[in-house]
Every structure is written in C-alpha cells, then in structure tokens.
Structure 1
Amino acid sequence: MSALILREGDQPRRVELSQAVAEALSRAGGLQLVQTSQPGWWEMSSGTNVGVVTVGGLQIILQPKLPIQRLVFLMGYARQPAFWRDHSVSLDPAADVPEVLAHAFVRLATRALDQGLLKGYQTVEESLSVLRGRIREADQVRRHWGRAIPLEVRYDDFTVDIPENQLLLAATERLLRIPGLQRGLRAGLQRLRLLLADVTAPVSGQTRPRWTATRLNTRYVPALELAELILDGRSFEQRVGELTVSGYLFNMATIFEDFVTVALREALTPHEGRSSLQHRHHLDVADLVPIRPDFVWSKDGRPRIVADAKYKAEKPSGFPQADLYQMLAYCTTLGVPIGHLVYARGNEDAREHVVRGSGVRLVAHALELDAPPAAVLGHIGALAQVMIDGVV
C-alpha cells in the first residue's frame, strides 16, 4: 500500500488520483480536494483534521503540526482537567496519531489487566424460570397476566461485565477498525479482546459506558482515560461505488475549542461567578435566531465575559472578518462591552478592534500551544486574568 503524508497547515500537495478515488475521498470528508486544470491531478490538504484515511490502495496520513504529546494533553485536559494536569502518557513522537494511541493503549490496558479483570456488582433485570433476587411485580403482571413462570426478576451480579471493562473493549474494537495498523499492534489488540471475551461488546450508537475513579479501579484509570480519547475520534468505513474508504480522524478545531473553554472555566473557578460552555441564547427578541458563544462567564445573573475559541480564523467568501461580526453580535446581545477571540498562535495574530458607534472592544488573543502543559495552562491563566480585569 502506498502512503501519502500531509502535514496540518502545509501548502496543498499536488497528487494524481483517479476520479473514483477522488470522489470517495470527497464523500468521506476529512480532506480538502481541489481539481486542477490538468485532468487527473488534484490539490490535496488536510484542513484541520489529523489521523489516517485509506482508499484504493492509498493510505493518507494526516500529521498534526503540534508534537503528539501536546495534542494528547489538549484532548485529555478537555475531558478530565484534574487527571491530565498531573499525569502524562508516554508516546512515540515519530509515529502517526492512530499508531501512537494504539501503542499507548495496548501498553496501559495490558498493565491494567495483568492482575486480572476488575469485577463489580451490576443490577440485572431478566426473565427466569427460578427466583433470583426480587420479583419486578409491575413487569410480572404486565407481561405475564398472572402466570407464575417465567419470573421477571432483578438481582445484583458480581461480574466482569462492568463499565470499566466495557470501555476498554469499546476502545479495543475501535482501534482494530483503524486501517493500516502494524501487525504487532493488531496482535496486541487481539490479545486484549480475548482477555475481555466475557464483557458485553459495544453496540454502535449506544451511550458510552460511564465510570467514576475510585480506589478500586485505580490501576485502570490511565487506560480508561486514554480509552475515552480514542473513542472521541471519528472512525468511519463506507462504500463509494467499487471502493471502500475508511479512516480515523480528529478535528483540531474541535480539540482546540474544547481545551480552551474548559481551561478558561478552570482558571476562573477561584472568582465568584458561573461559567457556561456552549452558552445557549438568541439574537432576536422573538427567539427565532439561536446563538451559541463557546464561553460565557456570568456574575450576579449577568454575562460579564464572552469568548470564542477559533483554531483558525473563519473567512467565508465575501465575509473575511466573519469572526469579528459574530463576536459583535454576541456582545450586543449579551450586553458585554468586550468580546474575546482566542486563536492558536501561528493561525492568527493578537490584535484589538474598537467598533465605531458602540465602543465595543473586540480583542483577539494568540495562544501558544507548542509549549509544556504547565506553560500552556499558565498562558490560559494570564488570559483569564485579562478577561477579569476587563469586567465592569
């Protein structure tokens, strides 16, 4: 299988593709394709996606411009700030994103399961011919109309089929569907699946198993945290004509937005007030036009800070300053005199605009991501202080 490596943020690569392959890639999403004037040749770039896509004997590896260790920190902190602030996962900086995650997961999950599968009590409801636990009287009457057997019962079962093991199995199954993984990695994942043979297999579209860190599952926690990140990726496989296109992708814009909003919430916790992520509001008095700022901090029942996290500036055709228009609408609607736009450094510069006729200030900040986690969080803390200082 031939491989094509695209690095996030680089100039588009000129590649030769058949019409069928180009159509399959376009339908799958995750890549930006523009047909050139020369038949059969296309300009291809990764946009804001990182991961891997495979179609027609071609594997396309989409590399992040951030070191993989930083990327995983951003992803993890947005989910569990307390854990990822103080922990890290050893990763191979030279490998691509899916391979890195698979390597780390096999290592951590194997270590977690070395002492045997964790067990716990699960409440089970089923129909039995003998009494076990308690009869569910309402279900017994509704389903069996007075018949004695079968019995609708509820009981607690001490089992390995608990959320922690279900989550590890779900991540294992997801990784096994990633195209192009090394044979050794697949063997490691198959061993994990065998160890988890008595655990309920994940069902597509089902709610993800929920777990809580306790002293009983301490040895599982690093593997579980990584499993959550793996399941956040978009895995797909679809048939387009005679071709099958498959892939596993993360969107850097979503990762950045989630990290910035959670980190701002954490940084503003010492101040009296309430943070709202993806704040729901309406632009008009009739509540017909919804708006959803990424971050709003309120005090005494009034919005005081509004911020949007933008990995890259939004510049749709005809509206090159769309981010500024959007933030002005947020400030006007929420009655906030300063609006904050947080970009990744290198994608947009720090600057400030004062809007004519209203005095509203629109401030763009550039966040440095290619720095140690403590430095990135320190920058967020300084940014939060600037926002608090601007509250009137």
Structure 2
Amino acid sequence: MSDTITLYEYERTSHRLSESQSRRLASVGRGAITVEPEAQHGYYSITAQNMVGTLVVDDLRVLIRPKIRPENLFLLLEVGLDPDAWRQEAFDYETSANLLPSVIAFYARTLETTLARGLLRSYRHTEERLVALRGRIDMAGQFRQAGIRVPVACRFDEYSSDIAENRYLKAATRLALRVPGVAPEDRQRLLREVVSLEDVADVHIQPGELDRIAFTRLNTHYQPALRLAQLLLANLTLADQLGKRAASSFLVDMNKLFEDFVTQRLRRELRGRLEVLSQFGTHLAERRQVPIRPDLVFRRQGVEVLVADIKYKLTGDAQARTSDYYQLLAYTTALDLPEGLLIYCLADGGRPEGVVTVRHAGKRLHTLAIDLTGPPSAVAAELSSLSEWINGRARIAA
C-alpha cells in the first residue's frame, strides 16, 4: 500500500485525500469511520468509531487499533484457549499494527492443533438415487419417478467427515488463503489443512450457521477453531484487485465483542447460581407494546432478580451517559425490579460513579467498569469480582 493511516478507536486525525478517495472512504468505511472536509483544501478529518482492524480503499489503508492491550483484544475473542495460546500473535499485532495477519496466524495454528487430534466424523442423513439399494427406500421419492425401478431413491445415514463443523472450517480456510500478505508459514499450515479436509464439500457458509451447531464432548475441541472461523467469515471482506495488488478489509465491532465476552464469562462464573439470559425480549408498555431487549437478565429459580446493560465506551470524563441511565431505568421499570446495572469497559479515565438513585421512583442504577488495560489474569479477577457482586445483589432481591 502506498499510503497508511494509523489511529486508535474514537481517535481523530487529519489527512490529505483526493475527492474520490474521501467519497470512497466514507462509503466503504460507513460505521467504522467518519470522513469530513476541513477548512484547508484537500484535507479531511478522519474519526474512528467502534470498529478496529484494517480498512482498505484503493491505494489507501486505514489501521484502527483498540485502546485496550493487544493481548486483551485476543482475549475478547473468547475462543476458549489459555492466554499463552495467542501470545505470539498479540506481540506481532502490537509491533505491526495490522490485525488481520495476526488473526489468520492464530486461526492457522489453532486449526492445525485441532485437526491434529483427528478429523471429526459423524453420521449424516443422506437421500440419494442409487443403482443398488442402500439403507431404506425413500418411498415418496421413488413414487415421484413412476414406472422407473432404477435408480432407487434411498435414505441412509453415512459416517462421514463431510459434516457442518468441517464445512465451516473449510470455508474459513479457503477465505483466509485468498488474503494477500499472509506469512508463508501460516499459508503452508492452511494449505495442509485444506488437504486434510479434501473429502469435505466446498459450500457457501453464512457466519450465523455456527449457532446451529450443538457442542458435546465429541466436538467441544473444535470450538476454538470454529469461533475464529466465524470471526473471519463474519468480518473479512476481500477487495477487488487494484492493478497487480490485492487487499482485504477486516473490521471487528468492539461493542459486540465486549458484550459477547462479558456475557459468556458471566454465564460461566454464575453457572449453578444464576441463570444468565442474553438479549432478553420483553415489552415496556402494557398489551405487549414497545418492545425492549436488555443485554442481560439474571434469574434465580425462574424469577428475574437483576437486569444489566453492557456498554463498551465511557464518556470522556469516565461518567455514564445520561441516555444509558434512561435505558436502564426503562428496563428496571418494565421488569418491576428495584435496581439495575450498567457494565462498562474501562480503557482510560477514572472509574464511573457507583450508584445513582432515581428521584420519586427509588430505582437504584449501579455502574461498574471492567478494566481491560491490565493482563488477562487481572481481567479474569475483575470478572470474578463482578460475578460475585451480581450474585450478592441477586440474593438481596430474591
């Protein structure tokens, strides 16, 4: 790339752009950055939003870095591996500022380790027309070809590696191999695993299909690789070639990443004590009017005892936004709860105010922040402390 702009999330910078570059950057980067003309002709203000990663437009590359520690960005991916597993990739990202090669390297190593344990196989229901009978005759399919005895419409279960988990991994691996600039050793890893998956069909995969895979003791070792595969399939965009060069955009929504991470960790910490429901659908008004969807609702023995909303960004003075308090007040009112919780990410600035009490309503709105500036062990300790606080408040409300 002939021109690279590097900035942190929510940071603003000034850069000289052509008019066509500014238009394309504003269009392609919608949701990730804003582009506004400055008083000086030819210069534009570029402001990063809540996305981090790489944005490519023509011969311009924008690298958006998170304010949190690089190793904690990998921690937020919540792939279920020990922090030591991504130490090398976190270091590479810290020195290069380009997230995509580090994520692909992490995926390539995780995939290699996963498939080294053996390719997952399972029984797959198959309906096929065969010359010789196999399994059972598909009577409905057979009668659709009236008067024809062969081929026979058969229904059978086949023990095969061509299953959803492997199809998902193969689709992500094929996509990663199309990314330019991947380190040779990582490309070799990916190519070897494509060979391992040669009996698996090449099919179009939607990122959300991972949610339909049920994990058991038989396939749980696939989870880390599948979660990284989902990250690539959901966020990687292959750009058209520009001359002899090819480029890829890869942007991760930090809001969603933080929300999913906190949800999964609290669910794990509170298992057996509280039921943790995410994106809980209910209504603000009577007669099921005005739908609302709190990020988290905590239940004890089937009864709602606490509601929480997760917010990634604090205001500049480390205080919660007024609109966030309004939203949480609506949730506590609709669920008839005496208090609610705002969970923030603490990246810079001081700790937010601990609790406010709403006038004439008595609702207590708590604010707690998780510090992501420390090492993964410190983040784990903060989440453990948060889960104990939630469990304690739930006991009081029950």
TM-score range for the pair, normalised by the shorter chain length? 0.7 to 0.9
Report the Cα offset of residue 246 of structure 1: 4.8
Report the Cα offset of residue 245 of structure 1: 8.4
- Does the Cα contact within 8 Å between 1:48 and 1:252 map onto a contact in 2? yes
Report the Cα offset of residue 166 of structure 1: 1.7
Q: Secondary structure at the match of 1:76?
A: coil
1:97 aligned to 2:95? no
Q: Which moved more, 1:335-344 or 1:97-106?
A: 97-106
| Structure 2 match to 1:251 | 253
| 1:343-365 deviation per Cα after TM superposition (whole angstroms, max 9, x unaligned) | 11136732122111111111111
Give the TM-score of the pair, scaled to structure 2.
Answer: 0.83
Report the Cα offset of residue 85 of structure 1: 6.5
- Does the Cα contact within 8 Å between 1:53 and 1:245 map onto a contact in 2? no
1:212 aligned to 2:244? no
- Does the Cα contact within 8 Å between 2:305 and 2:337 map onto a contact in 1? yes
- Does the Cα contact within 8 Å between 2:7 and 2:13 map onto a contact in 1? no
| Structure 2 match to 1:80 | none
| Structure 2 match to 1:226 | 228
Percent identity of equivalent pairs = 31
Q: Which amino acid aligns with 2:370?
A: L
Q: Secondary structure at the match of 1:14?
A: strand
- Does the Cα contact within 8 Å between 1:314 and 1:322 map onto a contact in 2? no
Q: Which moved more, 1:193-202 or 1:250-259?
A: 193-202
Report the Cα offset of residue 303 of structure 1: 2.0
CA distance in 2, matches of 1:105, 1:300: 40
1:368 aligned to 2:365? no
Q: Cα 1:89–1:146, aligned 2, differ >3 Å: closer, same or farther?
A: farther
Q: Cα 1:178–1:353, aligned 2, differ >3 Å: closer, same or farther?
A: farther
- Does the Cα contact within 8 Å between 1:8 and 1:48 map onto a contact in 2? no
Q: Cα 1:246–1:226, aligned 2, differ >3 Å: closer, same or farther?
A: closer
Q: Cα 1:302–1:235, aligned 2, differ >3 Å: closer, same or farther?
A: same
CA distance in 2, matches of 1:113, 1:266: 26
- Does the Cα contact within 8 Å between 1:7 and 1:65 map onto a contact in 2? no
Q: Cα 1:296–1:113, aligned 2, differ >3 Å: closer, same or farther?
A: closer
- Does the Cα contact within 8 Å between 1:2 and 1:57 map onto a contact in 2? yes
| Structure 1 match to 2:380 | 377
- Does the Cα contact within 8 Å between 2:131 and 2:151 map onto a contact in 1? yes
| Structure 2 match to 1:51 | 53
Q: Secondary structure at the match of 2:310?
A: strand
Q: Cα 1:339–1:16, aligned 2, differ >3 Å: closer, same or farther?
A: same
Q: Cα 1:384–1:222, aligned 2, differ >3 Å: closer, same or farther?
A: closer
Q: Cα 1:376–1:270, aligned 2, differ >3 Å: closer, same or farther?
A: farther
| Structure 1 match to 2:295 | 294
CA distance in 2, matches of 1:172, 1:366: 37
| 1:187-213 deviation per Cα after TM superposition (whole angstroms, max 9, x unaligned) | 543443344333211314383473635
Report the Cα offset of residue 296 of structure 1: 0.6
Report the Cα offset of residue 306 of structure 1: 0.7
| Structure 1 match to 2:304 | 303
Give the TM-score of the pair, scaled to structure 1.
Answer: 0.84
* Structure 2 gap segments, 5+ residues each: none
- Does the Cα contact within 8 Å between 1:103 and 1:185 map onto a contact in 2? yes
| Structure 2 match to 1:24 | 24
CA distance in 1, matches of 2:46, 2:17: 10
| Structure 2 match to 1:6 | 6
Q: Cα 1:180–1:227, aligned 2, differ >3 Å: closer, same or farther?
A: same
Report the Cα offset of residue 280 of structure 1: 0.5
CA distance in 2, matches of 1:245, 1:35: 26
CA distance in 2, matches of 1:178, 1:287: 48
Q: Secondary structure at the match of 1:109?
A: helix
Report the Cα offset of residue 223 of structure 1: 3.6
Aligned residues: 380
Report the Cα offset of residue 290 of structure 1: 0.8
Q: Secondary structure at the match of 2:6?
A: strand
